[in-house]
Amino acid sequence: MSVWKKLFTAVRGAATEAGEAVVDNQALRILDQEMRDARAQLANAKENLTSVMAEEMAVRRTVDDLRSRVEEHEGYATQALERGDEALALEVANKIAELSNELEAQEQLADGYTGNITQLKRTIADTERNIKAMQRELSVVKSTEAVQKANAAMAAKFSGADSAMLRATDSLERIKAKQQKRSDRMTAAVELQKDASGDDLQAKLKAAGIVSGAASGNAVLERLKAKKSGG
């Protein structure tokens, strides 16, 4: 492969990738537009169906009228024959043949309209189902896209060394450390106060049983009983 051919292939590949990137980025917008186009075409098809059905109704009326006229002229021909007027009967018969040919043509036209109407109705029904299915798929894609974008935004916001979440966590840890230091200082101050007032020594003497503790209800009751017995 020549150098120029390789370069041309590389350029084509880059152009294809760029084109695909543009299509991917605009995918939802393109899908929305295609859905609008499909709905517009469906509405147009329904209008065409209405027109074809109206034309079929007109042709069917013509068919009914021709059948009535054929029957009417057959009656005229029969009456002419009954009167022995074959010339008149033949003239009426020619008219019947003309009406019959027109009737056959109109019946074929009406049958063609009926077939077209059936096909149009089937096509419209299929198109409506496809549009509804595509609309559901598009809704799912849009919802998924929105969720993924939200997740990506959250991940970008709370990731990295400079994220708001990390800064908030660091601040919380600093506050907790300050509170612990403050609590330690308060505890130390209380201990110093006890040492200065002798409370701590008194507590140790009471614990050793060297000095008595505070009076209790049981001790008072025992003392009163002993006093009564001695008295």
Query: How high is the pLDDT of residue 55?
Result: 94
Q: How confident is the model over 127-157, as pLDDT tens digits?
A: 999 989 888 888 888 888 788 888 877 776 6
- Comparing 149 with 61, the larger pLDDT belongs to 61
* Same-domain status, 23 and 110: yes
Give a yes or no: residue 167 inside a domain.
no
Give the pLDDT of residue 65.
Answer: 96
- Give the pLDDT of residue 218: 67
* Chain CA centroid to CA 199, Å: 74
DSSP assigned state of 159: -
Domain that holds residue 71: 3-157
CA distance 91 to 81: 11
Query: Would residue 32 count as lying in a domain?
Result: yes
Same-domain status, 58 and 122: yes
User: Buried b vs exposed e over 196-209: b needs ≥16 C-beta within 10 Å?
Assistant: eeeeeeeeeeeeee
Number of folded domains that form the chain: 2
213, pLDDT greater than 60: no
Considering the domain architecture, whether residues 43 and 131 belong to the same structural domain is answered as yes
Where residue 209 falls among pLDDT bands split at 50, 70, 90? low
Average pLDDT (201-216) is 62
CATH number at residue 122: 1.10.287
Say if residue 89 is in the same domain as residue 200.
no
Amino acid letter at 24? Answer: D
Encoded tokens for 51 = 């027109």
Band of residue 170 on the pLDDT scale cut at 50, 70, 90: confident
Distance CA 224, CA 215 (A): 13
pTM over 0.85: no
- Rounded Cα distance, 199 and 193, in Å: 9
Together in a domain, 132 and 189: no
In a shared domain, residues 113 and 206: no
**Domain membership flag for residue 173:** no
149 with 196, same domain: the answer is no
**Are 201 and 90 part of one and the same domain?**
no
